[in-house]
Amino acid sequence: MDRIRSAEELRRRAEKRIQKSKQNITSPVPPDELRRLIQELEVHQIELEMQNEELQQARLELERSLNQYTDLYDFAPAGYFTLDQKGIILKVNLTGSRMLEMERSRIINQRFERYLIAECKPAFSSFLEEVFQNQNQETIEIALQKEGDREFHVHVEAIVFENRRECRIALVDITAQKQSEQKLQESELKYRSLYETMSQGVVYQDSDGKFISANPAAERILSTPFEQMKGNTPKDLNWLTVHEDSSDFPEETHPAMVALRIGEPVENAVMGLYLSSSGRCRWLRITAVPQFMPGEDKPHQAFMTLEDISYIKRMVEYNKLTPREKEVFKLLARGQGRKVISEILNINPKTADKHKENLMQKLNLHSQEDILKFARLIKLI
């Protein structure tokens, strides 16, 4: 504006001087004075032309800036809306109209709330009120709907103008992110359901071998509630573990501890666990897998799968029994006592007792109930 006023002032001065010169022409003008006037007019003309060029250049720069602003505003990755205090849309950029899949002319002067799903309207109303009251930049996540009632989710950032009568909101489409989060939640739910209901036991141990998680099957197989295992190692729990040859199974050689130490899975290790609650040995098949944090080469934890193979071990031992031992076991399963067994098999009652003692040891049985359960499993009775 200063440049325009300056140009107009020069023009007025030039026109005034020309008019004055015309008035003075009534009398002869000396050649020197005439040349001076012509030169002065030529200078003013050049000045005016230069200033006109500057104005033209300024106008072109202003147009370029306006075009750049328009491009930035319209083609920004975020949808921009200008709302008044009642939530009426005063302006919207091209991205915003594309989000709603509507022409801008149909969006302007509409209430923004119109495009929200019903569940989000109360929250957005409170949000907008807070924006105008606090005059701080506020954020919220809401769901809108396009034509055809198709929903999409957006992250909203809003801030008021200095006049407090309008606010600008920027919308970023986070539908893909929300869908990914939902799929992740569904996956976690499926994993949790599988983890909780699977028949195979699963336990997690940290880098020190302390239990940090166990599913219900693991609690059942280990005959120990997780609350008792939590934060402890097998050694802390005084578990007695053995190899298949009944030799000691030191804690440092347990599958999880080996997997944590070498950073590789240990598969199908067989371990016998003597349960203090019953005094019996439960045979387990264990696979331990180390887990690593991103970018780390040392595992931070390991998980173990536990399978109770006591029945399999018992079947192996049962198949090794002599025909006489199998006859004794069948009679025991039918609830016969030492006297009846000795009479049927024509053996001494003490011999019958010895057979029973050997059978209980070989088959890892501890009560008549155990005998009945195993006999039913192998369909002996």
DSSP letter assigned to residue 346: T
| Whether the Cβ atoms of residue 141 and residue 117 lie closer than 8 Å to each other | no
Query: Band of the pLDDT at 381, cuts 50, 70, 90?
Result: confident
SS3 readout for 154-183: EEEEEEECCCCCEEEEEEEECHHHHHHHHH
Handedness of CA 184, 187, 193, 195 (dihedral sign): negative
> Region 356-373: what's the mean pLDDT?
88
367 exposure class (CB count in 10 Å sphere: 0-12, 13-18, 19+): exposed
74 exposure class (CB count in 10 Å sphere: 0-12, 13-18, 19+): middle
Looking at residue 331, its pLDDT comes to: 92
- What b-and-e string marks burial along 229-265, b requiring 16 or more CB atoms within 10 Å of the CB? beeebbeeeebebeeeeeeebeeeebbbbbbbbeeee
Looking at residue 156, its pLDDT comes to: 95
| Whether the Cβ atoms of residue 174 and residue 153 lie closer than 8 Å to each other | yes
**How far apart (Å, rounded) are the C-alpha atoms in residues 63 and 4?**
17
Among 55-59, 66-70, 273-277, 297-301, which range has the highest average pLDDT? 297-301
Q: 255: closest CA among 243, 245, 267?
A: 267
Taking CA atoms, 264 is separated from 134, 201, 297, in Å, by: 56, 20, 11
At 241, which helix (H) or strand (E)? strand 240-242
> Region 282-293: what's the mean pLDDT?
96
pLDDT in tens, 322-351: 999 999 999 999 999 989 999 999 999 899
| Whether the Cβ atoms of residue 290 and residue 264 lie closer than 8 Å to each other | yes
pLDDT at residue 13 greater than cutoff 70: no
What six digits make up the tokens of 164?
């407090």
Query: Band of the pLDDT at 90, cuts 50, 70, 90?
Result: very high
Query: Band of the pLDDT at 207, cuts 50, 70, 90?
Result: very high
For residue 265, which phi and psi values (nearest 5 degrees)?
-65, 150
Looking at residue 258, its pLDDT comes to: 96
Looking at residue 58, its pLDDT comes to: 72
Please indicate whether residue 162 or residue 193 has the higher confidence score (pLDDT).
Answer: 193
**How far apart (Å, rounded) are the C-alpha atoms in residues 211 and 310?**
23
List all residues 6 or more positions away from 14 whose beta carbon is below 8 Å from its beta carbon: 41, 44, 45, 48
pLDDT in tens, 132-168: 988 788 999 999 998 777 899 999 999 998 677 899 9
> Region 302-315: what's the mean pLDDT?
93
Looking at residue 170, its pLDDT comes to: 93
Average pLDDT, the chain: 87
